[in-house]
Structure formats: C-alpha cells, structure tokens
Amino acid sequence: MAVPGNNNRMVTITINKNQYLAEEGEIFLLTAIRHNIDIPHLCYEKALEPYGACRLCMVDVVTCGKTEMTPACTIRVHNGLEILTDTPQIIKHRNLLFELYLAEAPKSEVIKEMAAKYGVTKTRFLKKIVHDDPLQGKCILCGLCVRVCEEIMGNSAISFINRGPYTVINTPFYEHNPDCAGCAACARVCPTRAIVCEDIGESRVMHSWSETTVALVTCPECGKSFAPQRLMEKVLTKLEPGLIEKIKNLCPECRRKYFTRKEIHKIPLTDREP
C-alpha cells in the first residue's frame, strides 16, 4: 500500500465539487484537514489504525452517480475520488450523533464546544449521569486510550468492560493494575480529556484507572521525580550504550544542562564571553 509522505503519486480528487491535488494512498480525513475542509472526528489518531467508531467523520463517497456514507478516516485517496462532506443528509445525521454525544458525555466541554460549532447546543435525549464516574462523565468510548495502551505501548493495562450501552473502560476487575507503566499516553490521546492522573511525590497515580499507582524515577541531580520507572527502563534499552551512563538517571532538564555545560567546555577559555 502506498504510504503518504513517501513521494507518492499526486492525484486529483473532488471535494464538494472543487478539485484538489492529493497524495495517493493517504487517509482522506488527513487530506481534507490539510485543505482546511472541516470534518469533525473523535476517534482517529495518526499513529493508530483507523477504527471508525465515532461515526462523526461520515462523508458521502460518490461513485457512478451513487453516494455511499463512509467514515472519512477509512477512505484512502485514489485518482478521481469524489467526496461530499456537507450534504443535508450528512448534516442531519451528524447533528443527531452530536445530540447522542451530548447525552453520553454531558460533562465534556470538548463535546459541547464541538457540537456548538456545528449548531447543536442541546440534546433531546436523556443525559447519562454516573455517580463517581472515574472518567468524570466525559468518556465517549472512542477507544483511543485502550488502543494506544495496547498497540503503541504494548501494555494492555486497560480495556473495555461489558458491552453495548453498559460498556466502560477500566483496568481488569477495577483493580490496581501492575501492567500499567504509568506512561499516561491514554490521557494524552483522550479527545475529551476524560482521564485523570496526577504525580504525587515519587509516584504517579492514575486516578481514572482504579487509582493504579506507579513509581517515578527521581533525578539524582535536582531531586525531581520525572518519569515512570518502567517506562524509563524501556526507553533506556533503546539508547546508544556509550551515551547513557552519565545521563541515564537525569531528568530532561538536568540532561539539557549537562549537554550545554559539555558544549561550553569545548570552547577554549579565551573565547568565552567574560
């Protein structure tokens, strides 16, 4: 398959009756974003395989005069591709989906802002209220956290629990999970900022994931706790061996200082500014 960014063939595609040049094989959603064509989306992340669960990026693909609704994150660009992003049908369904999201994650400011941008400010559906929700009533179950934990970090510390309308995301049996590396990649990719974690002293507490607590590495230079221990161990195996000895336990800031000092010392004393 053609990989975007690798000098692929440029092809002509039609979006809303206008023609654009696009790279063959690229995911259409990214092409559209680059051309400033607005398509709302929640579950797409470049680093992961398309998942197609949020259904907000549905667009019409026109083939031989017939249209078919398809998520933009699953369409690969090819020559002659024709897309409509704002037909009355698309807008109608998208607005109703926004209403469903507003009911599902009533506490999410991100969802409220996104929906408002498309003119949806209230929902006709019963709002979901969960007391003591570890995800603060903001989770829309897009699955990005679960996927990043499994596919990128290789930890699978969290997963979907139950099914259908009872689906939630958490650690197995809602217990403290030793598989969690504490990398907080989940919190980073969460589109609605639902995941809560906090660094307290020498540990990181994943409040949303059953208070899973991981130890942090403390910088011997400045005494600041800066990264989860297990994550550090993993990262260190990937560095050049000669490089690591002196700096491996330092926090990023002290590392910068170390290299700056080293560079400064290379300059002969006479050339240094007084």
Partner 1 sequence: MIIRSQADLESIRKRGLTKIQPNHPRIGIGVSSCGIAVGGMALYHRMQEIIQNNSHDILVVKSGCIGYCKEEPLVSVYIPGKSQILLHKVSIDDAERIISLACKGDIPQDLALCRIPDWDHITGNLVYGDGFESVPDYGEIPFFSHQKKVILRDCGLINPEDIDEYIGIGGYFAAFKALTSIPPDTIIEEVKKSGLRGRGGAGFPAGLKWEITKKAPGSEKFIVCNADEGDPGAYMNRNEMESDPHMLLEGMLIGAYGMDVHEGLIYIRAEYPLAIKRLTLALDQARAYGLLGKNILNSGFDFDIQIATGAGAFVCGESTALVASIEGKTGRPRLRPPRLTEKGVFGRPTDLNNVETWCNVPVIIGKGAAWYSAIGTKGNTGTKVFSLVGKVDNVGMVEVPLGTSLQTIIYDIGNGGALGKGVKAVQTGGPSGGCIPQRLFDTPVDFENLNKVGTMMGSGGLVVMDEDTNMVDIARYFINFASSESCGKCVPCREGLKHMLLILNRIIAGKGTQNDIKLLQELSDTVQKTSLCGLGQTAPNPVLTTLKYFIEEYDQLITPEGR
Judged by the rule CB under 8 A, the positions of this chain that interact with partner 1 are 50-55, 58, 69, 71, 74, 89, 92-93, 96-97, 100-101, 103-104, 124-126, 140-141, 143, 159-160, 162-167
- Residue with Cβ nearer partner 1 (141 or 190): 141
| Sequence-ordered strand ranges (E) for the chain | 10-15, 18-23, 58-63, 66-71, 82-84, 159-161, 168-170, 198-200, 203-206, 212-218, 225-228
- Residue with Cβ nearer partner 1 (141 or 214): 141
Q: Are 138 and 105 in contact (CB under 8 A)?
A: yes
- How far is residue 158's CA from residue 135's CA, in Å, rounded to a whole number? 13
Q: Which residue from 153, 132, 15, 148 is spatially nearest to 82, judged by alpha carbons?
A: 15
- Residue with Cβ nearer partner 1 (25 or 199): 25
- Residue with Cβ nearer partner 1 (20 or 101): 101
Residue 223 contacts by C-beta under 8 Å, 6 or more apart in sequence? none
How far apart are CB 125 and partner 1 at their closest, in Å?
5
Cβ atoms within 10 Å of 14's Cβ, excluding its own: 14
Instruction: At 41, give phi and psi (nearest 5°).
Output: -160, 150
Cβ atoms within 10 Å of 206's Cβ, excluding its own: 26
How far apart are CB 48 and partner 1 at their closest, in Å?
13
How far apart are CB 103 and partner 1 at their closest, in Å?
7
How far apart are CB 89 and partner 1 at their closest, in Å?
8
How far apart are CB 92 and partner 1 at their closest, in Å?
8
> 19 forms bridges with which residues in the sheet?
14
- Residue with Cβ nearer partner 1 (64 or 126): 126
- Residue with Cβ nearer partner 1 (169 or 184): 169
| Sequence-ordered strand ranges (E) for 72-164 | 82-84, 159-161
How far apart are CB 100 and partner 1 at their closest, in Å?
4
How far apart are CB 217 and partner 1 at their closest, in Å?
34
- How far is residue 58's CA from residue 70's CA, in Å, rounded to a whole number? 5
- Residue with Cβ nearer partner 1 (100 or 152): 100
